[in-house]
Every structure is written in C-alpha cells, then in structure tokens.
Structure 1
Amino acid sequence: MSETVSFGYQEVLPEEKTRRVGQVFSGVAAKYDVMNDAMSAGLHRLWKDTFVRRVKPRAGEAILDMAGGTGDIAFRLADRGASVTVADINQEMLDVGVERALERGIDGLVWSRQNAESLSYPARVFDAYTIAFGIRNVTHIDRALAEAHRVLKYGGRFFCLEFSTTQWPGFGDVYDFYSHKVVPQIGQAIAGDAESYRYLVESIRRFPSMPEFERMIRQAGFVRTKVEPILGGLVAIHSGWKV
C-alpha cells in the first residue's frame, strides 16, 4: 500500500498533503498575523519573544528561520544583530513578510523559497536553525529535522516553537472546546476561511507528543535536547545541538 500522512484528521498521500497545506497558507497569508492575535489573545507575541531569548542570537551569526514567511521571528532575530535568512515553501507567506519588512524599514534579511525537507543550502553553513509553528505542517518531519542537522555548523543549535498538548488538568478540555468550536468561527469571521483554521487545529492534535518529538530530534543527530513547556505544554520550545 502507498504511504499516507496526516492532513488534520485525514490520511492522505504525501504529495496531496504538500499541495493542500500549500493551499491553506496561500489562503490565509494576508490575515495570518491578525488571526494569530485573535486566536491567542496576543499570547503568541510573548511566546515568540521567549523563544528568541532562548535562541540567544548574536551579532553576525548566520541563522536560518525556516517556515518564517511573515517575518515574525526573523525581525526579532535581526534586531539582535543576527544575519537572518527567512525560508518558506509558500511564496504568498514570503510576500507578506517582505511587505512587512519594507513597512518597518527592516533591511538586510534574505528571503528564500525553500522546502524544509530538501534545502538548497550546502552543509554546515548556519549557526542556528529556528522554526516556529511550522514543523507540524511539514509532510515528512524526520526529513526536515535531518536537513536542519545537515545545514548547521558543528556547535550549531536547533530551536523549534510548536503547539503541543497541555497537561494541566481541566485546561485541556477548555482548550479543546475553544480550538475545535471557536477557532474555525474566528477564521471565518476574520479571514473568511473556516476550513483552513479547522485544519490548523487538527494538525496540532496529530502532532507528536513532547517526549516523542524530542526523541525524533535526537534521532536526527542532535544532542543535549531539551523541552520547555509553556502553559503546561500547550506550546513547547524544543532545542538541540549539533556536535
């Protein structure tokens, strides 16, 4: 039988997931950051601030921000003096990021359309690799992790910010109701697209648990791996080093 992968709660062929995820982000690109504010009550900004503090970007080092199309993480990294390449598989997301950078007077960023599973960069060129709320949308997560390891220099660090499953008693039930019932309605009201946001919620539920994802990071070759849960694991910062 042909291999299948998850697209939300559905099982589809890998190429079908890649195509459909592309359609999702092409559709929501223009309203992506507005929706993030609405869905998280602005908390995503605090999570991203914390994430970048953990990365500890330094002046002059080369950082690849994967799935970073709208620039949210890249702007924060560049503000610390890092040399940032923003990569995303979706051109519409990159276009939004370039426009936002122009509006803010931010220059010096490199914008590149890339597939996380098959990066065009040579081995050992980046000091750090970051990916925020993007890896769960990759068709083959293990391949993306292997590529992250390949393009990092020895001593380079991997950081991933991603939704997970909160372990706080009671809070998980409330969040399940909110995400499955309310988020698609917000998506319809703001972006005119309930189905894309229904998929994004379902993709969180299908993403590996924190221990399982940490194991995948180690299998890709990273050491000194760490998981930092936020809000009981609703969101988690994963990290590892290439040695």
Structure 2
Amino acid sequence: MKHVAFSSTAFATQNLNVMETADPYSVIYELFDFAELSRIREYHWEYLKSTVTGSFNKELSRRERSMLVFYHEKLGKLVEATHIINEQYKILRRFRLGYHDLQDILTNPVKSVNEKIIDLIIMIVRPERIYKVDGRTNDPEDLRAVRSYLVVLASDKMFCDKWKIFIESACVGLGSVLVSFIENSELIKILSLGHSFYSQFCVPENCLYECDARPENTSTPENAVSIHETPILKVHLL
C-alpha cells in the first residue's frame, strides 16, 4: 500500500458530531448498544468475507447489506473516537498521570465545578494566568452552563493544539467547557491597542488563577488593563 503524506487537517474528526468529539467514550457505548460483542464479531467477519470474495451484491440480502454499511459507519466513528482517546492518553503519559489522577481532579467532592476545571487546566498547561470569559450563571454548579476560559501562556512556552481538545473533552461531565489560548506577550500587545474583547474580559475580577512565579522583565503597557494589583482567587492542585 502506498503511503501518502497527510496534512494536519486530515487528523481532525470527520465522522463525529460535536458531542461525540467531546465525549469519545459515548461512541464506544453506541457501538455496543447497536450490537453485542458476539454479533459484532459476526458482522466483522461477514464484512471482510463479502469484501474479499465480492459476494456483497451476489449473496447478501438488502437487509444484510444495509446492516454491514451501518456497521462500517460505526467502525469509522470508533476509529476517530479511539484516536481522541489515544491523544488524551498520550498527554496524560507525558505528565506521568493516569486515568485515576484525572478522575481525582474531576470528581473532587470538596471543590466547585469551576475549581475542578481550573485544576485540570493548570495540571495540563502550567499557564501564567486563567481568565473567566463570560459563562455567567446564577448557579455556580449548574452543569448546563457554558464556561469559557482564556488561558495565558508564558511567551516562551510552546503551544500544543491537543490541549484544547483534551481539556474540553475531559470536562464533558462538568458541562460545556470552552478553552482558548494566547501568549502573554501577545496579550500585552493586544491590550495596549485597546482591543475591545480582551480589554473587557482580561481584568482582575475575571482572573481565576495567576502563577506565583513571574519573570521580572514582564511589564504591562501603561494603557493596558492592569492584571497584577487586585487579589486573585488562587486555585491549587490536589
């Protein structure tokens, strides 16, 4: 088989919807809800046999053909779902963390939903600051709320685009979580230009976390919003 060099967009999901991408384990559940293990083995063998022998249109009934096509669609989703799960696993391995470490954070009984999400972001990204972006809700524990966060990275830190997918999918049990990233130097530059969005949300009262270790040469432009003077809600890892 000839190997082809694929673009980065080829690794994006194509068969999963938004909810399935956020919760790839639901795809596994749907597969076994569709058919039990023994039946799936039969479909898999029939799928291979009909492909190799060319009997798909000759020996199989319309219902059998439709079922194998439906099974093929399920397999396509399963491959993409396991790709997401594998990417999550690689990130956990990178930090020498396991599934139980992740669950310890996400199911901590004494912390709020917001604190659990912040703890997870800190564990994976080690950011400079984290800002709350909108996500207003009367009930801080409301799992139907959409919670958005702007994560500020150290200017010399390499951004990994897999962080966003991992964090948002890992937090699916905590409601809708949206995460965006920006470098500290870029944020300072944008604030100095008076960007309306960042000037509105990058204010002390929206800062949920700030790293204690701050480079001495980091400065804030005079006309940028100050982000260092007001006390900040500190969220710590377990």
Q: TM-score w.r.t. structure 1 length?
A: 0.29
- TM-score of the two chains, using structure 2 as the length reference: 0.29
Q: Which has the larger radius of gyration?
A: 2
Greater relative contact order: 1 or 2 (C-alpha under 8 angstroms, separation 6 or more)?
1
Say which structure is richer in strand. Answer: 1
